[in-house]
């Protein structure tokens, strides 16, 4: 029988800034178990002055007692699934996502973002969140509908990579920044280390494709996840599935190459599910798939390809 676990955001449960096969699991679970995971967002330099009185207790304690492993996101985990081994696929069902606080932050940083030559000065902004109405209150008077998701979800990278920053998305997942990955999504990660070792963080209340200024509406989230080991799949890159779409994704320093890789992954997925010839799968992508920019600001550019399930199954 499946067991439900809770992983709080207390400092002992945080890996700040890094993924690594050498980082020990915080929690070990069985195949089929569910876990509620609390996350935090924002270093001391990223929390706006007018939000400091509203910080969660775990956030205050973290900033007072811990520093990062390397510059990057505040991640909760890792969660190891007993029996998961390299070559497997870890299926992670995102059952629910909730906002933990009534504010988010957004930063423009010198020399970073998509247009650093146009925006050379640092700007830090607080965005009030109305959790009842699920809107963010923009300072120029607009209420923006919220759609929370975790910008970072990933497993441990191959052991030979060592400990790596959470900033750069790679084959293990990590800083995906794909706004479609909200509640109801199922993620699929190639397993590189024993247990898979899933971590998440970088909560976004809302984000546009590209995350162009460097950050989204960054906030603390709570997620509920269900974990399964899949040995009927073999993946080189993460994939996702929603109620309506299949999603393939890829990452490269060159945006064109990231787009090509995401498209090739979609052609592979179509052929796996339909046995169509490659030429037909390529044409189907031209008819019905959307190649989108995930983010532009994290060294590796991210692209994802989305295909409606109705395009395969009618």
Give the pTM: 0.97
Give per-10-residue mean pLDDT for the chain (314 aa).
Answer: 96 98 98 98 97 98 96 98 98 98 98 96 98 97 98 98 98 98 98 98 98 97 98 97 98 98 98 96 98 96 98 85
Of 83, 62, 29, nearest to 225 by C-alpha is: 29
CB 294 within 8 A of CB 303: yes
SS3 assignment, position 186:
strand
Domains in the chain, start-ordered, CATH in brackets? Answer: 4-234 (2.60.120.580), 244-313 (3.10.28.20)
DSSP, res 210:
B
Q: Tell me how crowded residue 210 is: count the other CB atoms within 10 A of its CB.
A: 17
Q: How many Å apart are CA 255 and CA 273, to the nearest integer? A: 27
- Residue among 3, 148, 173 at smallest CA distance from 81: 3
What is the per-residue pLDDT for 167?
Answer: 97
Contacts of residue 191, Cβ cutoff 8 Å, sequence gap at least 6: 84, 85, 86, 87, 88, 89, 90, 155
Scored b (16 or more CB within 10 A) or e, 174-189 reads: bbbbbbbbbbebbbbb
pLDDT, position 313: 83
Confidence at residue 290, expressed as pLDDT on a 0 to 100 scale: 98
Q: What is the pLDDT of residue 1?
A: 85
pLDDT of residue 255: 97
Strand pairing category for 123-130 and 34-38: unpaired
């Amino acid at each position: 029988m499946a067991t439900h676990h809770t992983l709080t955001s207390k400092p002992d449960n945080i890996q700040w800034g890094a993924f690594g096969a050498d980082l020990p699991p915080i929690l070990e679970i069985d195949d089929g178990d569910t876990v509620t995971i609390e996350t935090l967002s924002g270093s001391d330099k990223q929390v706006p002055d007018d939000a400091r009185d509203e910080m969660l207790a775990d956030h205050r304690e973290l900033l007072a007692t811990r520093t990062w492993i390397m510059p990057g996101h505040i991640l909760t985990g890792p969660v190891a699934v007993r029996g998961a081994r390299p070559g497997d696929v870890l299926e992670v069902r995102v059952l629910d996502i909730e906002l933990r606080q009534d504010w988010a932050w957004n930063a423009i940083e010198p020399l970073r973002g998509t247009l650093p030559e146009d925006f050379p000065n640092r700007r830090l902004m607080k965005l009030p969140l109305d959790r009842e109405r699920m809107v963010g209150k923009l300072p120029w008077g607009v209420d923006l509908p919220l759609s929370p998701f975790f910008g970072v979800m990933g497993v441990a990278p191959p052991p030979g990579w060592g400990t790596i920053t959470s900033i750069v998305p790679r084959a293990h997942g990590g800083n995906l920044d794909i706004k479609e990955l909200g509640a109801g999504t199922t993620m699929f990660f190639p397993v590189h280390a024993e247990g898979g070792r899933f971590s998440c963080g970088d909560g976004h209340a809302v984000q546009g494709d590209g995350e162009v200024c460097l950050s989204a509406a960054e906030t603390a989230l709570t997620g509920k996840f269900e974990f399964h080991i899949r040995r009927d799949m073999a993946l080189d890159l993460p994939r996702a599935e929603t109620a309506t779409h299949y999603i393939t994704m890829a990452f490269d320093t060159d945006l064109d190459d990231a787009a090509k890789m995401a498209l090739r992954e979609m052609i592979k997925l179509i052929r796996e599910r339909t046995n169509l010839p490659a030429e037909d799968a390529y044409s189907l992508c031209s008819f019905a798939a959307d190649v989108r920019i995930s983010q532009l600001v994290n060294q590796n550019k991210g692209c994802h390809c989305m295909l409606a399930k109705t395009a395969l199954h009618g």
